[in-house]
Amino acid sequence: MKTKPDLSFWKLWNLSFGFFGVQIAYALQSANISRIFATLGADPHNLSYFWILPPLMGIIVQPIIGAASDKTWCRFGRRIPYLFVGAAISVLVMCLLPNAGSFGMTVSTAMVFGLISLMFLDTSINMAMQPFKMLVGDMVNEKQKGLAYSIQSFLCNAGSLAGYLFPFIFAMIGISNVAPEGVIPDSVIYSFYIGAAILILCVIYTTAKVKEMPPKEYAEYHGINETEEKGEKTNMLKLLIKAPKAFWTVGLVQFFCWAAFMFMWTYTNGTVAANVFDAPVVERAGTWVLDTTSTQYQEGANWVGVLFAVQAIGSVLWAVVIPRFKNLKIVYALSLILGGVGFISTNFIHDPYLIFVSFLLIGCAWAAMLALPFTILTNALTGGHMGTYLGLFNGTICLPQIIAAALGGLILSLFPTTTGEAAPEAYMLVLAGILLFAGAACVFVIKEKK
């Protein structure tokens, strides 16, 4: 088996540059889905159910894309056709989703429209996102793989930073940040429009700059008998049975990590609006909920974008520190512990600037989650099923999110409330911190392949 040659920094950069645009779309979705559906009239106890769709689509789509792209060879490449089609669909849906309340539909119809749009958005984001991880696995040698995923992590966080800040910036320059009941503010709508434009431009850049290996060359670099590989059918169950131990042990850590971040994406809006901006509450159907038409709520929702941007900055800074550790397990566990401390501290901080510290610490966990699992896993993988395994590995990201989303409303209802107060979403972030501590403990069962 031939050894893959070293690639220049800019070739590594071009491999992942389109990820910047994809991550803007993902950041806009992560920071604004709860806000959009709460504005449309969703009960906070039901918000987590809207979050089931994104990981559900991921767990279905990504293994299919991985397996299909393993067998795809055309003039445009192996992985690139999938990321381009996914990006094109994302652009269309990003122009529709934030307008769910603007077409004169009833509340229930607007909710259904929003859900369908969310389903297509996440399907297409997953379709565009996974090929970038596969491209690194396909084209980068073991020596440079850590650098390649670090570049991808940097671009991921830079895209997140932009996506999180767009609504806040638009509100600052005078675009309306409030709207009539059931209508999404213009600051959010315009953010999705700009994000869609950047996404398609970034993906066009990657498709123009990256030339994937032809089948014969790929086979030589990956130790594949091309004739046998063409006749071999992909059986995902058999591949799972034969998966390296790193697949399952890293997956255990992933379970706790991604459940924690699902709670963050779902409940940070309510936490910040209530604890930091003192948003008023109203009674709706016998339940006290935050008044989503209030200035305090919408200002708090914009500030969540700023906090998520701070998290991205913390992630970028910590990503520089991670390679300095020789022991991957030590830095992985330390990162998750710091993130757990950040989550728990959000329950005790009521100052809009002091809470930056919490999200800088959360960014440490996010940096580790983006880079280390894929470094450990791809080092343990060989052969022609790289894409399929990475698609299946996405189940360790999606499944915990589905479980967390399904149980979120039930768990939230267990926390005590008093008359005239909204449900204590902040306790869900404390639970997220505890989950990260559990993930840190599980790091030490990971079976690495050197």
pLDDT in tens, 245-264: 888 899 999 999 999 999 99
Q: What pLDDT is recorded for position 415?
A: 79
Q: Are 160 and 23 in contact (CB under 8 A)?
A: yes
Residue 403 pLDDT > 80? yes
pLDDT of the residue at 40? 83
Q: Which of 256, 238, 294 is closest to 422 using CA atoms?
A: 294
Least Cα distance to 425 among 350, 372, 357, 346 occurs for 346
Residue 220: what pLDDT? 79
Q: What is the pLDDT of residue 310?
A: 93
Kindly tell me if the per-residue pLDDT of 126 is higher than 70. yes
- Among the listed residues 186, 446, 373, the one whose alpha carbon sits nearest the alpha carbon of residue 298: 186
CA–centroid distance for 70 within its chain: 23
Average pLDDT, the chain: 85
**Which one, of 363, 299, 272, 372, lies nearest residue 331 by Cα?**
372
Most confident of 7-11, 156-160, 338-342, 373-377: 338-342
Flag the least confident range among 194-198, 286-290, 318-322.
286-290
pTM, two decimal places? 0.75
Burial class (CB in 10 A: 0-12, 13-18, 19+), 353: exposed
Model pLDDT, residue 418: 58
Confidence of residue 426 (pLDDT cuts 50, 70, 90): confident
Q: How far apart are CA 423 and CA 437, in angstroms?
A: 25
Q: Rounded mean pLDDT of 344-358?
A: 94
Strands 287-290 and 281-284: antiparallel
Q: For residue 449, what pLDDT is reported?
A: 64
pLDDT at 352 over 50: yes
